[in-house]
Amino acid sequence: MTPTTPITRIQQNVLARQERRLLNWICPRLPQWVTPDLLTLLALIAAGVVFAGYALSAYDRNWLWISVAGYVVHWFGDSLDGSLARHRSIERPRYGYFIDHSADVLGALLILTGLGVSPYIRLDVALVALAGYYMLAAHAFLSAKVVGELKLSAVAAGPTELRLILIGLTVAMYVLGQSGPRFESLSVFDAFVGAVGTILIILFIVQTVSLARRLLREGE
């Protein structure tokens, strides 16, 4: 494949159809000064806001609502940057692919590190989830290179569903505080985030074996 070879985007998450309708409605209503690059930057700044909300929740749990707002803005910027470029027919395939996904991995670092420096989730547990995310991201990028397919979802969940899960987790952190159920040295939040991270790692292994077998069958 060359860098300009079209990549098939595979998105099979539960909310994909409804989200696409909403994005298609928003795109023609955005002013011209709103550009895809600006939306990508907005998403990255929003990830920083999520980090700040989690970090500051050590002093006052009301800061968690800043993280919730950050997730909403992050969805807006991250979901619309590519959609707007396609709507206006101003795609820059190599540049857009590189910048968008670079911002995604940096945003994940900010968000999950933020969870780890909050008083609710241990940093080592958050880093397991981050490792799982990065492993699946690496698999997606490798698949795009070797078979021309970029998978944007796994087990019927994509970035939007993941944000909703994280918003729910954040609200639960606010409601339960640090007095929630514990499992030995792990809080219920640690157990949840650790389980998600473990699932992501298992998905990476399963998908990697599956793709390797496919390539072997195709003789490449």
Amino acid letter, residue 49: V
Query: How far is Cα 74 from Cα 88, in angstroms, rounded to an integer?
Result: 21
Sign of CA dihedral 7, 108, 44, 16: positive
81-138 pLDDT, tens digit per residue, is 989 999 998 988 889 889 999 999 999 999 999 999 999 999 999 999 999 999 999 9
148-187 pLDDT, tens digit per residue, is 877 776 666 778 888 999 999 999 999 988 765 566 678 8
Query: How far is Cα 33 from Cα 91, in angstroms, rounded to an integer?
Result: 16
CB environment 65-90: b (16+ within 10 A), e (fewer):
ebbbebbebbbbbbbbbbbbbebeee
- DSSP letter for 120, please: S
* Phi, psi (deg, nearest 5) at residue 109: -60, -45
49-82 pLDDT, tens digit per residue, is 999 999 999 999 999 999 999 999 999 999 999 8
Residue closest to 42 by CA, chosen among 107, 86, 108, 101: 107
Amino acid letter, residue 98: F
Determine contact, residues 142/214, Cβ cutoff 8 Å.
no
Q: Which residues contact 15 (CB under 8 A, 6 or more apart)?
A: 158, 160, 161
Domains of the chain: 8-217 (1.20.120.1760)
pLDDT, greater one: 5 or 76: 76
Write down the pLDDT at residue 153: 65
Query: How far is Cα 32 from Cα 74, in angstroms, rounded to an integer?
Result: 20
* Phi, psi (deg, nearest 5) at residue 9: -90, 120
Write down the pLDDT at residue 127: 95
pTM score of the predicted model: 0.88
Exposure of 103 in the CB half-sphere (CA atoms within 13 A)? 26
Roughly how many angstroms between the first and final C-alpha of the chain, as a whole number?
A: 13
* Phi, psi (deg, nearest 5) at residue 73: -65, -35
Angle at alpha carbon of residue 8, lines to 7 and 9, rounded to 5°: 110
